[in-house]
Amino acid sequence: MRIAALDDEAYQLELIRHTMEVIGHECHGYSDGKSLLRDLHHETYDLLILDWGLPDIEGPRVVRWIREDLNSSLPILFVTNRREEKDLIEGLAAGADDFMTKPVRVSELQARVRALLRRAYPARHESQLSFRGYRFHPATRTLRIDGRLVELSRREYELALFLFQNLGRLLSREHLREAVWGIGAETPSRSLDTHISRLRLKLELQPSNGFLLSAIYGLGYRLEPLETDQFAPLYPPADTAE
């Protein structure tokens, strides 16, 4: 998953980044709050790890801005030298989800991150995934819509699964590229848009089928489930003679 870490101590930031990469996550480091807040206007992450005392802004203020101004439910973990009960209470009251003290204990940090991600994104931890008529089979990298097999390339499948696993979330273009092509991959600028266009057509992602795949100008894409009382099969069975 895609994680952001904010700490003004280079050693601590590198330790957190390495600890996250060991368990398979992409970790983007920030050494000051303003840079993170600027990027959060156009980038998305799955989790934020942040220090409390920063040279330009305090951690609780960052959390309140994310919760109130961005209206984001991004999971947030404080990793800080603060250890008083009043600090824990203040951090959680600001909107953080968890709190641990330095020095960083690698196994504990990994365990806390795993727990937060499981709670925040339960769909990302299932072995077989169903979303109304859409059923993904990760073992074979196949997708069936109301039982009908849809022909998808490997990247189309990965992009479709990632979008469904993050239903309702705005995902930045860079977030999507990293999830499907990998961090640092040389990806043509229009490749993501081309794959999105193909999926919208192949998967019939339209209101009549209960899902809407929208482009958010200057930011990225969002796949949204639409609330309706009844969902008819996308491919109804053929009539059979009695």
pLDDT in tens, 86-133: 999 999 999 999 999 999 999 999 999 999 999 998 877 666 688 888
The pair of structure tokens assigned to 156 is: 């189309």
2-120: CATH architecture:
3-Layer(aba) Sandwich (3.40)
Cα atoms found within 13 Å of the Cα of residue 49, Cβ hemisphere only: 32
Tell me what the mean pLDDT of segment 28-43 comes to. 94
CB atoms within 10 A of CB 141: 14
Question: What is the per-residue DSSP string for 106-151?
Answer: HHHHHHHHHHHHHHH-GGGG-SSEEETTEEEETTTTEEEETTEEE-
* CA atoms of 210 and 231, how far apart (whole Å): 7
The domain locations on the chain are: 2-120, 125-225
The pair of structure tokens assigned to 229 is: 């009382």
The whole-number pLDDT of residue 78 equals: 96
Read off φ and ψ for residue 196, nearest 5 degrees.
-60, -45
The whole-number pLDDT of residue 125 equals: 67
CA distances from 101 to 44, 104, 107, 200, 218 (A): 26, 7, 13, 45, 37
- The band of 241, judged by pLDDT with boundaries at 50, 70 and 90, is very low
CATH number of 125-225: 1.10.10.10
CA 85 from chain centre, in angstroms, equals: 31
The pair of structure tokens assigned to 53 is: 């005392």
* CA atoms of 221 and 214, how far apart (whole Å): 6
Query: What kind and span of H or E run contains 221?
Result: strand 220-225
pLDDT in tens, 185-228: 666 668 899 999 999 999 998 888 889 999 988 889 999 998 75
